[in-house]
Amino acid sequence: MNFRFIEKNSNQNIMPTVAINLVLVETRILSGDSIQAQVVIDSADPDTIVNELYAEVKGIGRSGWVNIHTDKIYETEKEYMNTVIQLCRTPMSLTTGRHQFGFHATVPENSPSSYESQFGTIRYTIKVTIVANSQQATVAEVFPFLVVTKSYFDDIPSAIMRQIEYKDEGNTNIAKHCRLKNEFVVDFTVCSLPFGTVYLKVIMPRTGYRLGEVGAFTFLQFYLYSISFFRVFQ
């Protein structure tokens, strides 16, 4: 009987002795604001020596599509943020237990919002890397976070900021009369006799609002109905 020995990659059997976590004050960051973060490291090996410890804050936009006629693939990539923060200037001993390292980074003012779609993404991540004196303690972890672009009312078209009235039309003769009044018409039935119309109008001061703002809306409702009776004689 012949035996064949299969050599495995020694890195697959290595159990890490260090675990990395990241704590963010806010998981959603506005463009132009600062990221406040804490790197939390749990170490199980008292002999670990950290040679390098740094965080990479990146924002990258990628898009790709295929020309269905030529099967040619188009791909583009743009970098919106790339900051490297050193958390360990000189080699240090990482004793057993939990250790924390704080840092902050500013998201550029012109950074676009995070975005996910079939043909493109805009993703922001924080990658924390430890380079130590052993393979078990040399690890890297990536943590995503969301960016929301700030918008200012001065940058919004004036047509969006003006008062707006929502309207619609019904199928009755009364709806033709209400068409000139920008009113919302809904037919209704009572006791199986269609004899009236209810009018609804929704008025908004504007259609653009900032996050957390309370909007004041006006709802107008009134009824119009008429009943006609007739007799049949033989």
- What DSSP string describes 130-141? EEESSGGG-EEE
Task: Tell me, yes or no, whether 165 and 138 share the same domain.
Answer: no
The answer on pLDDT for 179 being more than 70 is: no
Residue 72 has a pLDDT of 85
User: pLDDT digits over 106-148, tens only?
Assistant: 999 999 999 998 889 999 999 999 999 999 999 999 999 999 9
Average pLDDT over residues 199-207: 72
**Helices assigned H by DSSP within 6-151:** none
Task: Tell me, yes or no, whether 96 and 21 share the same domain.
Answer: yes
CATH code of residue 138: 2.60.40.640
Residue 150 has a pLDDT of 81
The answer on pLDDT for 222 being more than 70 is: no
Task: Tell me, yes or no, whether 28 and 130 share the same domain.
Answer: yes
As a dihedral over the C-alpha atoms of residue 127, residue 131, residue 137, residue 138, rounded to 10 degrees, the angle is 60
| CA–CA dist 55, 24 (Å, integer) | 13
Task: Tell me, yes or no, whether 79 and 160 share the same domain.
Answer: no
User: pLDDT digits over 36-45, tens only?
Assistant: 999 999 999 9
The pTM assigned to this predicted structure is 0.62
Residue 140 has a pLDDT of 95
Residue 167 has a pLDDT of 56
Task: Tell me, yes or no, whether 199 and 183 share the same domain.
Answer: yes
Backbone φ and ψ for 47, nearest 5 degrees, come out as -95, 10
User: pLDDT digits over 5-24, tens only?
Assistant: 334 344 456 688 999 999 99
Give the lowest-confidence range in 185-189, 194-198, 201-205.
185-189
User: pLDDT digits over 150-166, tens only?
Assistant: 876 666 666 666 666 65
Q: pLDDT band for position 98 (50/70/90)? A: very high
Task: Tell me, yes or no, whether 44 and 106 share the same domain.
Answer: yes
What percentage of the chain reaches a pLDDT higher than 90?
47
Domain finish residue from 148, 183, 199: 148
Task: Tell me, yes or no, whether 171 and 212 share the same domain.
Answer: yes
Residue 231 has a pLDDT of 43
Residue 9 has a pLDDT of 41
Task: Tell me, yes or no, whether 212 and 159 share the same domain.
Answer: yes
Structural domain for 201, as ranges: 155-225
**Residue 229, both tokens:** 């009776």
| CA–CA dist 46, 117 (Å, integer) | 45
Task: Tell me, yes or no, whether 126 and 175 share the same domain.
Answer: no
CB 206 within 8 A of CB 161: yes
Cα 215 to chain centroid, rounded: 23
Residue 114 has a pLDDT of 94
Domain finish residue from 87, 118, 148: 148
